[in-house]
C-alpha cells in the first residue's frame, strides 16, 4: 500500500450508487438487449452502452428506441423488456471487486450508509437481496420513483442526507456515472468517481477524486476508519483462476521493457476480464511441462502504450532459457498491488514494473499467499484450462 495521502475532508456518511458502482449490471443488461433486439432484427454490439450509464430506466429506454430506430414508443419498450429482468436474473449479478469489503467495513465501524439509485425501488430490493448483509447495512435506500427528478438532479442525494439527518456537506458520494457525479456535486457533497466505462477517467473533472476501482478507495482520506487488510503493500483478494495456451503478444515485453511476459488470448476470457479492474496483480503460474512459478501481471489497456483492448500480461518470475509459446499456462491470482497508471517516460514505467516484481516476490513468501502454490488448478491437464472465477 502506498504512502497515505493527506486528508481531503472530514465526512460523516457515505452515499453509494448501485448499478456500475456496487454491482456489475452491464453484462446482464447487454445480454437482455441482445435477446430483445432480435425481435426487431437489430443487433446489440455494446457500442451504445456508455449512453445508458447513470440514466433512469425511462431515459435509457429512450436511448435504445432512438439509436436503433425501433418502431415502438419508449413506454412500449419498457413494458416489453421489464419482464425479461426477472428476480432470478438479478441474482446472477456479481458484486464488483471491493463492494462487499467496503459495505462490511463501513457498517462494521458504524458509518451511516445510504443507497441512492435511479432504478425503481423494487428493482433495488431484488438486486441487493441476493447479497448477504447488504440490505441491513443501509440506513437509507432511495429509488428513482421516490423523488421528482433522478440524477443528474441533486434531489435524490439531498433526500438521502435529510433521511440520515446529516448535512449535505458532510456526505461522501461514490458514483460510477457522470450524471451521478454531477448530482453529488450539485448537492454540495464530496464525490469520488469510480468510472464503469473504460478509459473515461478524464471526463470526471468535477469529481473530488477519481479512482480505478473500489479496491483503491482510501477511507482515511475522508476522515473515515482505514482498511486494515493491506499486507506488505498488497491486498489479499478472493483467488481466481484463468488459463490457456501461451501466445505471442505485442513483442514489447522483452524488446522494449526487458520484461518477458507470457500472453494469453483474450478471446475466451473477455467476460472474466470485465469482472476485474485494470491494475497490477500477482499470484502463481503453472506451466504444464515445467513447474510452478511466482508471477506478477497487469490487466488493462496499458496507458503508456494505449492498448485498444483489455489484455492480461503475466510475467513469470523465473529465468527461462527458451520461449514456451503454445504451452498451457494456468494462473491463480491471489493479490492486488495497485491500479493501472500512466507514466511520463519509459524509464519510469520500467522502474515501477520492477518495483511491482519486488513486492510480489516478497509477498508470495508469506503463508497467506504461499499456500496457493499447491492449488490443483495449477497442474490441471489441457482440457481443464477453462476459466474459473
Only one residue has cell 504512502, namely 3
Instruction: For residues 218 and 93, give the distance between their C-alpha atoms in angstroms, rounded to a whole number.
Output: 25
**334 close to 284: Cβ distance less than 8 angstroms:** yes
Crossing angle of helices 74-81 and 26-38, rounded to 10°: 110
Out of 19, 176, 190, 209, the active site residue is 19
17 is catalytic: yes
**Do the strands 263-264 and 311-316 form a parallel or antiparallel pair, or are they unpaired?**
unpaired
Catalytic option among 17, 190, 216, 340: 17
- C-alpha 307/C-alpha 294 separation (Å) is 25
DSSP assignments along 335-375, one per residue: EEEEE----SSHHHHHHHHHHHHHHHHHHTTSHHHHGGGG-
Which among 175, 313, 356, 375 is annotated as catalytic? 313
The residue among 241, 310, 232 whose CA lies nearest residue 277 is 310
**What is the edge-to-edge ordering of all strands in the sheet holding 235-247?**
263-264, 235-247, 328-339, 279-287, 291-300, 311-316
- CA 347 vs. chain centroid, Å, equals 28
Contact indicator for 324, 263 with CB cutoff of 8 Å:
no
- Provide the annotated active-site residues: 17, 19, 313
Amino acid at each position: 500500500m502506498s504512502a497515505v495521502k493527506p486528508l481531503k475532508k472530514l465526512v460523516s456518511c457515505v452515499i453509494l450508487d448501485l448499478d456500475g458502482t456496487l454491482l456489475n449490471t452491464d453484462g446482464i443488461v447487454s445480454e437482455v438487449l441482445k435477446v430483445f433486439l432480435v425481435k426487431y432484427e437489430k443487433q446489440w454490439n455494446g457500442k451504445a452502452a456508455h449512453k445508458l450509464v447513470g440514466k433512469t430506466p425511462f431515459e435509457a429506454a429512450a436511448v435504445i428506441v432512438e439509436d436503433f430506430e425501433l418502431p415502438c414508443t419508449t413506454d412500449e419498450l419498457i413494458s416489453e423488456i421489464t419482464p425479461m429482468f426477472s428476480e432470478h436474473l438479478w441474482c446472477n449479478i456479481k458484486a464488483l471487486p471491493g463492494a462487499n469489503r467496503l459495505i462490511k467495513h463501513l457498517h462494521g465501524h458504524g458509518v451511516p450508509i445510504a443507497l441512492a439509485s435511479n432504478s425503481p425501488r423494487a428493482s433495488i430490493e431484488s438486486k441487493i437481496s441476493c447479497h448477504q448483509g447488504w440490505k441491513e447495512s443501509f440506513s437509507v435506500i432511495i429509488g428513482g420513483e421516490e423523488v421528482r427528478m433522478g440524477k443528474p438532479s441533486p434531489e435524490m442525494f439531498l433526500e438521502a442526507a435529510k433521511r440520515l439527518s446529516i448535512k449535505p456537506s458532510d456526505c461522501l458520494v461514490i458514483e460510477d456515472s457522470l450524471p451521478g457525479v454531477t448530482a453529488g456535486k450539485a448537492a454540495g457533497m464530496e464525490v469520488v468517481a469510480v468510472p464503469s466505462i473504460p478509459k473515461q477517467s478524464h471526463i470526471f473533472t468535477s469529481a473530488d477524486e477519481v479512482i480505478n476501482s473500489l479496491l483503491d478507495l482510501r477511507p482515511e482520506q475522508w476522515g473515515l476508519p482505514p482498511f486494515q487488510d493491506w499486507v506488505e503493500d498488497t491486498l489479499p483478494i478472493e483467488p481466481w483462476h484463468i488459463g490457456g495456451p501461451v501466445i505471442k503478444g505485442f513483442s514489447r515485453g522483452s524488446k522494449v521493457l526487458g520484461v518477458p511476459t507470457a500472453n494469453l488470448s483474450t478471446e475466451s476470457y473477455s467476460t472474466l476480464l470485465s469482472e476485474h479492474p485494470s491494475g497490477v496483480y500477482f499470484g502463481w503460474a503453472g506451466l504444464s511441462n515445467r513447474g510452478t512459478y511466482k508471477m506478477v501481471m497487469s490487466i488493462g489497456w496499458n496507458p503508456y502504450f494505449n492498448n485498444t483492448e483489455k489484455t492480461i500480461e503475466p510475467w513469470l518470475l523465473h529465468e527461462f532459457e527458451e520461449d514456451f509459446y503454445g504451452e498451457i499456462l494456468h494462473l491463480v491470482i491471489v493479490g492486488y498491488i495497485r491500479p493501472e497508471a500512466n507514466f511520463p517516460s519509459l524509464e519510469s514505467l520500467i522502474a515501477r514494473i520492477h518495483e511491482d516484481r519486488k513486492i510480489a516476490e516478497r509477498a508470495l513468501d508469506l503463508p497467506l499467499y504461499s499456500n496457493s502454490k499447491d492449488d490443483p488448478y495449477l497442474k490441471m491437464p489441457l482440457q481443464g484450462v477453462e476459466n474459473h472465477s
